[in-house]
Chains A and B, each alone.
Chain A
Amino acid sequence: MSEVLRKNVPLAITFLIGMVLFVEWFLAVPQIGVAGTALRDFGVTVSAFALGLGAINLFALHGGHIKARTKNQWIYSLALLAALLLFIIVGVQQGVQGSQYKWIYNNIIVPLSATMYGAIGFYIASGAYRALRARTKEATVLLITGVILLLRNAPIGPALWDGFPIIGSWIMDIVTTAVYRGIMMGSSLGILALGIRTLIGMERGYLGRE
């Protein structure tokens, strides 16, 4: 009984929900449509609750560092939890439309997020120098196309030579489209297989620990 409740019932729920949604999609059964709508409605709320899980993990991990006064770490953990609590307290008090919440969002999250992604620009530049080398035939092909596209994308490219935008566009619109189409179809087969295996209970990783 315990095994049934712990493992089999959740797998059955996944399967049943999947079947309801498939029947809803491929057959016009009004009652199933109502069930599908209700499931999606529930899914929105449950997904919202899932957003809090990360915060709990952070509390557990970094709270542990602060308690143990982990060397070279606990002070950063303190900063992390302070930022986390600041946003939760101000957000719950004011809502996201509040002027103070907007202020902390614009002056903390916006610059940090933007710079985290922006700093990758440095590594792309040094990466281009180190990795884009004509070591093999394939690497040479990659290098030449990379340079053509760089010249096509640079606003000055067309001014240097009319051919850059023409060749660059052909590479993008014909070759790149076809390659990514092939890759997409291949990966979609994988997604389909994994999805079916999940729904029929062969993939159980999402259940977590035994």
Chain B
Amino acid sequence: MTKDNKPEDIWERLDRIPRHVFYTLLLGLMIVSLLVPLGLPIKVGAATRKFYDIVDAVPNDGVVVFDISFSPGADPELGPQFTAILHHVFSKPVRVLFTVFVQDGQMMLQIYLDRLKPETYGKVYGKDWVNFGYRAGGISAMAELAKDMTFFKTDYKGTPLSELAVMKGVKDYRDVSLIITVTTASGGLSSPEDWVQQWATPYKTPLLVAMLKMMIPNTLPYFEAGQVKAYMGGTDQAAEYELLVERPGKGLAYTDALTNVHLLVIAFVILGNVGYLVRQRRKKP
């Protein structure tokens, strides 16, 4: 009922739809979209193509520092990106050094290594790749690593780095071909900004950032200035990367559901504005 006890019509009710209606519609649409995918085509964008090309251009026996800085909370969005990039990197004859500066990163890395199984790519631990394990200290540790790649002294199991063939000839930032960070970390831990400040700007080491879609605006200034060479944000780009590396995964699987959900949110916005504008019009004498 309105203030003067007239019954509300549908236009005015549009202004005050209960939130549970949205939650139910959203959940229902997600379930239907996942169960009945439409298989809509997608195109590979320039940003994803650039990311792919830079990874592909790492020379044989090049050293890639691969930083894992995300928690299970970001797994649905970063997991597909990480899987596709890891598949690409392991498919190349390069050395991979995994760094972890956030608490959950160690477990997330382990989960994905258990899934991807480096040995199926012919990769041998200690010879082709190493896991430095979690180190507290955030940017302190990151800054020192640039000066001395053996700063951590041991890998995650306690094996001295001097005993691992993968570290042969790797002394400092000059021996690193590329940094890839898969991150949701905030400043001071292992955020894109930290890698830009501690590695990419002072030492000009090429830096690629894979992150949540909502982090892209904060990273764009660095990308435009050339401090970040390429970025990947969001499941849409993960889907494009999966196409490029020919390994379909969750990125492609979520594409249709994402389309439907976005259209639903737009419908909510339009409904809200229609109801609001009608109310405003009717208030005017």
Q: Which residues of A contact B (CB under 8 A)?
A: 33, 37, 40-41, 43-45, 47-48, 50-51, 96-97, 102, 105-106, 109-111, 113-114, 116-118, 121-122, 124-126, 128-130, 132-135, 143, 146-147, 150-151, 153-159, 165, 172-173, 176-177, 179-181, 184
Contacts and interface: CB of A to CB of B under 8 A. Distances in A.
Contact of B26 (A44, A121, A172): A121
B175 interface: no
Interface of B: 17, 19, 22-23, 26, 40-43, 45, 71-76, 103-104, 106-107, 110-111, 135-138, 140-141, 143-144, 147-148, 151, 156-157, 213, 216-218, 220-221, 223-224, 234, 236, 239, 255-256, 258-259, 262-266, 268-269, 271-273, 276-277
B23 A126 contact: yes
A134 B216 CA distance: 26
A45 to B, nearest CB: 8
Residue from A134, A143, A154 having most chain B Cβ neighbours under 10 A:
A154
B124 to A, nearest CB: 18
Say what secondary structure dominates the interface of chain B: helix
A146 B262 CA distance: 11
Given A47-B137, A158-B43, A177-B220, A117 B144 contact: no
Contact of B72 (A113, A176, A179): A113
A151 B270 CA distance: 13
Given A125-B26, A125-B264, A184 B269 contact: no
Given A128-B268, A154-B263, A177-B223, 13 more contacts: A45-B136, A51-B103, A51-B136, A102-B110, A113-B73, A114-B73, A117-B74, A129-B269, A151-B266, A155-B42, A159-B41, A172-B217, A177-B217
B155 to A, nearest CB: 12
A81 B169 CA distance: 47
Nearest to B272: A129
A150 B111 contact: no
Nearest to B42: A155
B106 A96 contact: yes
A133 B73 contact: no
A44 B221 contact: no
B118 to A, nearest CB: 15
3 nearest CB pairs, A to B: A117-B73, A154-B262, A47-B136
Contacts of A180: 217-218, 220-221
8 contacts: A37-B147, A122-B26, A125-B22, A125-B264, A128-B272, A129-B269, A143-B269, A159-B40
Nearest to A156: B259
B276 A134 contact: yes
A98 to B, nearest CB: 11
Given A37-B147, A125-B268, A172-B220, A150 B262 contact: yes
A176 B151 contact: no
A114 B107 CA distance: 14
Contact of A154 (B17, B22, B111, B258): B258
A151 B223 CA distance: 23
B220 A44 contact: no
Say what secondary structure dominates the interface of chain A: helix
A118 B30 CA distance: 13
B213 to A, nearest CB: 7
Nearest to B262: A154
Given A114-B75, A176-B217, A125 B262 contact: no
B214 to A, nearest CB: 10
B107 A176 contact: no
A41 B147 CA distance: 12
B67 to A, nearest CB: 16
A44 B218 contact: no
A133 B268 contact: no
Contacts of B74: 117
A134 B217 CA distance: 23
